[in-house]
């Protein structure tokens, strides 16, 4: 029997064994280790993982593969006995071995993972409930096409992205499965490409079948899980947490055609104490994506893609943008920035997407100046060059 056949059999064996242990979602895999061809799992009741998991290291960590000491500590913390699965194929990164990353991808569906920072987009179709069923289907399909096209365009530019999504009925949460500040910048670029594609579709197609959008971009923490359906966890990832709650609250106040960005703060990387807020993040995005060689829409090349926060002009070394304090139905305040996207095509045509300051006269939010010293802007590029 060939190694490929042995590998396939081993993965099937792993899948069936873990699926049986999982017991339709009653249990959760919180960590694993291996010796030779043997996989050891730390499996605990799901309710117990949620009750005390935040007090035990690695419970919701992205890295579920642990060394022997950390794995035994994890099992001890939960009072769990290691579960053993023999695969008959060695585990490792060498030839004729199962890569640990392959096993981790299988186990991911039976786990819950916490991510401290990730860029997330939320798109809402305006007037969706008033559309006919066939129009609703067409509008959702059009939005999905714009999302897929953004993914393909980013890949064609050599940018490593993997856009995932989950439906909210009249729109989608969209995020990049890749992590890190560079991944979040590409998520923001995807937002721009999706909005441009949608606007071009509006200009060329029947408005009934192309969605009118409002959109929010934010960065924050969340948990990832796979929905339980029938006898197996589905292959689709779902996210829930601070970033989805915040974007949902902002979209509720967002006007038709408007683009908001939550004014988050996130570190440049895992070890840096330097924090980026929304304007600094956007400045970095502008420096990286101001011009995009090889990008086109409908066969028409793009010469520039820019975005900015509405506010006042540069003056005396400071740039004052407008920050909006949005209070949700529960009385919590969320700070947001209003964005404009501008794209220029090779033929001279230009598009402006979003609402400018004049169009925001009736926007239901408290507006205050948000000052940023331009000397900080000059440092942004260096912050990403460790």
Contact 337, 283 (CB under 8 A): no
Average confidence (pLDDT) over 339-364? 86
pLDDT for the residue 18: 93
State the pTM of this model: 0.89
Q: Residue 358: which pLDDT band, with cuts at 50, 70 and 90?
A: confident
State pLDDT tens for residues 216-254.
999 999 999 988 776 777 667 899 999 999 999 999 999
Out of 8-12, 230-234, 295-299, 358-362, least confident range: 230-234
Q: Residue 385: which pLDDT band, with cuts at 50, 70 and 90?
A: very low
30 versus 357: the higher-pLDDT residue is 30
Its CATH architecture, for the domain 114-383, is 2-Layer Sandwich (3.30)
Average confidence (pLDDT) over 188-202? 94
State pLDDT tens for residues 132-178.
999 999 999 999 999 999 999 999 888 989 999 999 999 999 999 99
Average confidence (pLDDT) over 253-260? 94
pLDDT for the residue 378: 58
280 versus 231: the higher-pLDDT residue is 280
Measured over the CA atoms of residue 310, residue 243, residue 185 and residue 341, the dihedral's sign is negative
State pLDDT tens for residues 197-210.
999 998 887 788 99
State pLDDT tens for residues 2-35.
767 777 888 889 999 999 999 989 999 999 999 9
210: nearest Cα among 296, 287, 273, 123: 123
348 versus 334: the higher-pLDDT residue is 334
| Three-state DSSP state, 227 | strand
Is the pLDDT at 315 greater than 60? The verdict is: no
302 versus 236: the higher-pLDDT residue is 302
Residue-range domain boundaries for the chain: 3-107, 114-383
CA 130 to chain centre: 29
Contact 287, 315 (CB under 8 A): no
pLDDT for the residue 316: 55
Average confidence (pLDDT) over 315-327? 75
Alpha helical stretches, state H, the chain: 3-22, 46-52, 68-78, 100-108, 133-156, 181-204, 242-251, 278-289, 374-383
Distance CA 189, CA 36 (A): 43
pLDDT for the residue 383: 52
For 263, list phi and psi in degrees, rounded to 5. -85, 80
105 versus 376: the higher-pLDDT residue is 105
pLDDT for the residue 46: 96
Average confidence (pLDDT) over 32-59? 95
pLDDT for the residue 319: 58
Distance CA 260, CA 254 (A): 7
286 versus 82: the higher-pLDDT residue is 82
Is the pLDDT at 314 greater than 50? The verdict is: no
């Amino acid at each position: 029997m060939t190694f490929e056949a042995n590998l396939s059999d081993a993965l099937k064996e792993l899948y069936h064994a873990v699926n049986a242990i999982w017991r339709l979602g009653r249990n959760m895999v919180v960590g694993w280790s291996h010796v030779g061809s043997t996989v050891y799992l730390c499996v605990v009741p799901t309710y117990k993982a949620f009750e005390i998991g935040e007090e035990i290291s690695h419970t919701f960590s992205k890295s579920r593969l642990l060394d022997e000491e950390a794995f035994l500590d994890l099992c001890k913390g939960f009072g769990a006995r290691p579960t053993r699965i023999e695969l008959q194929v060695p585990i490792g990164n060498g030839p004729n071995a199962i890569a640990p990353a392959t096993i981790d991808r299988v186990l991911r569906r039976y786990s819950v993972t916490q991510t401290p920072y990730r860029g997330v987009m939320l798109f809402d179709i305006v007037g969706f409930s008033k559309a006919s069923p066939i129009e609703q289907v067409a509008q959702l399909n059009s939005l999905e096409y714009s999302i897929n096209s953004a993914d393909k365009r980013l890949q064609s530019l050599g940018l490593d992205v993997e856009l995932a999504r989950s439906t909210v009925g009249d729109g989608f949460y969209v995020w990049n499965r890749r992590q890190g500040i560079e991944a979040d910048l590409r998520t923001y670029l995807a937002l721009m490409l999706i909005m441009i594609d949608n606007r071009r579709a509006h200009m060329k197609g029947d408005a009934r079948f192309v969605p009118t959008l409002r959109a929010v971009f934010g960065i924050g923490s969340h948990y990832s899980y796979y929905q339980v359906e029938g006898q197996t966890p589905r292959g689709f990832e779902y996210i829930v947490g601070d970033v989805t709650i915040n974007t949902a609250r902002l979209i509720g106040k967002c006007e038709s055609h408007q683009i908001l960005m939550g004014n988050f703060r996130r570190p440049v990387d895992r070890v840096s104490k330097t924090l980026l807020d929304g304007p600094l993040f956007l400045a970095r995005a502008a420096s990286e994506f101001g011009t995009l060689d090889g990008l086109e829409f409908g066969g028409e090349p793009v010469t520039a893609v820019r975005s900015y926060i509405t506010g006042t002009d540069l003056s005396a070394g400071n740039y004052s943008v407008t920050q909006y304090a949005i209070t949700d139905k529960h009385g919590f305040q969320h700070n947001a920035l209003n964005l404009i996207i501008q794209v220029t095509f090779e033929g001279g045509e230009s598009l402006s997407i979003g609402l400018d300051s004049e169009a925001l006269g009736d926007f239901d939010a408290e507006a205050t100046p948000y000052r940023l010293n331009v000397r900080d802007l000059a440092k942004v590029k260096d912050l990403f060059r460790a």
